[in-house]
A and B are shown apart, each in its own frame.
Chain A
Amino acid sequence: MARRIYDQKADSIKELIQKKMYHHFLFEHIESPIIDEDRILMLLIVMEEADVSDKKAESSAASAMLVQIALDIHDQVSKEQKSLTERQLSVLAGDFFSGLYYLLLAEIEDIQLIRTLANAIKKINEYKTTVYQLAGQDPDTFMASFKGIGTTVIKDFCRHFQAERYNPLFMEFLFLKKLLAEMDKFQEGRFSILFEGLKKFYLPQMYSTTPLSHLSRRDQHFLKEVCTNYIDQCKKNLKEESARISGLPDIFLERVEQLSNQYKHIAT
């Protein structure tokens, strides 16, 4: 598919999502959710291989995006939000977007996809509690749950449409994007659940006694180094996966390139 067609289809899905989720009062009080265009692109690549009508493809992709947006907005619910109204409406916005995913798929009568996405939501919330509690026996279990939070919707969507060959590639892409975002948060002194987890597993003596921001420069650098190792591994996997899959659209390969160049290994 030509880049122009991808852009057109992506715009159309974005428009559909925005139209469906618009609620005047809601958006007066909460920040407009971010619609991740990389995810739309992945969904479009999957749908290109599926033998379904354009309308069905659009609704399927839009519903998967709504699920992700709903899940993400519920992660923002906290006592730190600006006002009680904002917190209350963040709860309801997530519920509203979840309802819209169900409605969209009910209208096109795709009961199997409703089930696939419900199952993904279920697993993601289990991963979320594991990560939130910083549970897990070792860093690998913790990282697997952390990775699962951001990748399960796309992974299960690929499986649903028998496009599993994209799974390793898309998962590494999304994981890398998330790792980079967490690194940025940590460097800017904002709360990072990933770095909390890394502290627990790699600096256990500091786990319960020292907040991340109070760690010595040496310890902070050490945690960044650990995260960078994950980033480097992820970049390597991503490079291998994008070389392995033939026929990937240029628009996606460019995104892989851009993302991979976003962060260089920190000096030790």
Chain B
Amino acid sequence: MKLTWLYRSFKTDLDLIEQELERAVSSNSELVNNASHQLLKAGGKRIRPVFVLLSAKFGEYRIDRIKNIALALELIHTASLVHDDVIDEADMRRGLPTINYLWDDRVAMYTGDYILARSLEYMTNITDPLAHKVLSRAIVELVTGEIDQIKDKYRFDQTLRDYLRRIKRKTALLIAVSCELGAIAGQTPPDIYKRLYKFGYFIGMSYQITDDILDFVSTEEELGKPAGDDLRQGNITLPALYAMRYPLVKAEIEKVNRDTGKDVMSKIIQQIIETGAIEQSHQLSRRYLDKALAVLEELPDSRAKKPLKEIANYIGKRKY
């Protein structure tokens, strides 16, 4: 099943978001304009706008208001990707060259800042101060998480708790906040938007764990980068953490550095798989997904429930 099929019931609104995104990144500067449109060309799953729209359906669904949140969150996500590519010195994203590769770091910095400013402009169409408090706290926490990720690079003695906190900030937080803000924009009562935050948080955790598993088990063609690249970059993800419970495997993992070659990495990946770490990681991802589905059950009836459940299950089963 493809995401586009899952999105079928609200395609009109998503098309509107897509058109507005084009407008949002248009600029008087030809360079910013070209760079921003290069980003949009690469597409993306638009998972955050989808969660905003669906969560708003638990309240008063007014697309003219809700679209501002959906756009703001997608733009924040996009801006963070542009800056992440500078941080990671990445050449490619979603099969297309990155802005820092096509132009340079400086242009990527300016484009990212421009897009972030645009996102805040859209947000200010929302007059509820609560929405701004929620989003601004999330942005600060998200960046703090990225700083911690750099601090934790090649730190092989980190705990499961360190990892979970990192992926919360890296991925789960923005998805959780997408759900929460969609519901706030839909003017739902607090018990609804708080539950939707939890739903998004659990989904986000499951999503990132699956992403971290795929980094070890997918092919270079599927990933657009060599398998095990996260570990090579010093990011200790869940499969590696589980596998390090075995001293011999731990000793091998601890030798990994930026220059570790593909052959060595293949052997290490094989060792990680043999410890059962992939399966254990899948189990934890599944547990988060089950928690998300349980939260969904507690929510009042809405036409958003079915698509949210379908998307949750899609996330649990995705292969790349």
Within the assembled complex, what's the spacing in Å between the Cα atoms of A99 and B124? 15
Given the known interface contacts A114-B124, A122-B114, the answer about A92 and B32 at a Cβ–Cβ threshold of 8 Å is no
What A residues does B83 contact at CB under 8 A? 91-92, 95
Are B117 and A106 neighbours in the complex by a CB distance under 8 Å? Answer: no
Of the residues B121, B136, B137, contact of A122 by C-beta under 8 Å: B121
Are A109 and B129 neighbours in the complex by a CB distance under 8 Å? Answer: yes
- Kindly specify which of A33-41, A73-81, A199-207, A211-219 makes contact with the partner chain: A73-81
Classify the secondary structure of B's interface with A: helix
Interface size on B, residues (CB 8 A): 43
What B residues does A233 contact at CB under 8 A? none
Are A94 and B113 neighbours in the complex by a CB distance under 8 Å? Answer: yes
Of the residues A98, A109, A119, A129, contact of B32 by C-beta under 8 Å: A129
Taking the nearest CB of chain B, how far is it from the CB of A193, in angstroms? 10
Residue B144, interface by CB 8 Å: yes
Are A132 and B106 neighbours in the complex by a CB distance under 8 Å? Answer: yes
Residue B133, interface by CB 8 Å: yes
Within the assembled complex, what's the spacing in Å between the Cα atoms of A98 and B139? 9
Within the assembled complex, what's the spacing in Å between the Cα atoms of A41 and B137? 29
Within the assembled complex, what's the spacing in Å between the Cα atoms of A95 and B105? 15
Of the residues B109, B121, B136, contact of A119 by C-beta under 8 Å: B121
Given the known interface contacts A96-B144, A107-B133, the answer about A102 and B120 at a Cβ–Cβ threshold of 8 Å is yes
Are A88 and B117 neighbours in the complex by a CB distance under 8 Å? Answer: no
Given the known interface contacts A26-B147, A91-B83, A122-B114, the answer about A129 and B107 at a Cβ–Cβ threshold of 8 Å is yes
Within the assembled complex, what's the spacing in Å between the Cα atoms of A85 and B258? 14
What A residues does B87 contact at CB under 8 A? 87-88, 91-92
Given the known interface contacts A92-B87, A125-B32, A125-B117, the answer about A115 and B124 at a Cβ–Cβ threshold of 8 Å is yes
Residues in chain B within 8 A of chain A (CB atoms): 27-29, 31-32, 80, 83, 86-87, 89, 105-107, 109-111, 113-114, 116-118, 120-121, 123-124, 126-127, 129, 132-133, 135-137, 139-140, 142-144, 146-148, 150-151
Q: Can you list 8 A-B pairs, Cβ within 8 angstroms, ordered by A?
A: A23-B147, A77-B106, A89-B147, A102-B132, A115-B124, A121-B114, A128-B110, A130-B29
5 pairs of A and B residues whose beta carbons are closest in the complex: A121-B117, A118-B120, A106-B132, A115-B124, A103-B136
Residues in chain A within 8 A of chain B (CB atoms): 23, 25-26, 70-71, 74-75, 77-79, 84-85, 87-89, 91-92, 94-96, 98-100, 102-103, 105-107, 109, 111-112, 114-115, 118-119, 121-122, 125-126, 128-130, 132-133, 135
